[in-house]
Amino acid sequence: MEKLRTLFGPEENQNNIYYCYYATQVLYHFGGQAWEKWNPKMRDILIARQDKGANIAHQKGSWSPKDDAHGGAGGRLMVTSLSLLTLEVYYRYPPLHRRDQPVP
């Protein structure tokens, strides 16, 4: 997990929301230090990239597909959807594995 976080972290892949979405799920379910380091960085990157509506008011709160690896295929709707799902991963899924609980 450390390799996923360090070699393929949010800083290196911030222009690939598809990767960030799935990596966030993996790290969330794995938990531990890798998740604790990943989540604040990913959250801050996504919030910073959120459209402020300065040029086009109705885009406020969305995420631009510009410069995203899959933005051309999925557009603003896909990038916004995956960004939101990435930010709320801990509200949608209970952790699958708990390190502090024995395996049945």
Take residue 63 and report the two structure tokens written for it. Answer: 């995420």
- Start-to-end C-alpha separation, the chain: 24
For residue range 3-45, list pLDDT tens digits in order.
Answer: 655 656 666 667 899 999 999 998 888 888 888 989 999 999 9
pTM of the model: 0.79
Select from 54, 29, 42 the least CA-distant residue to 82: 42
For residue range 58-94, list pLDDT tens digits in order.
Answer: 999 999 999 999 899 999 999 999 999 999 998 876 6
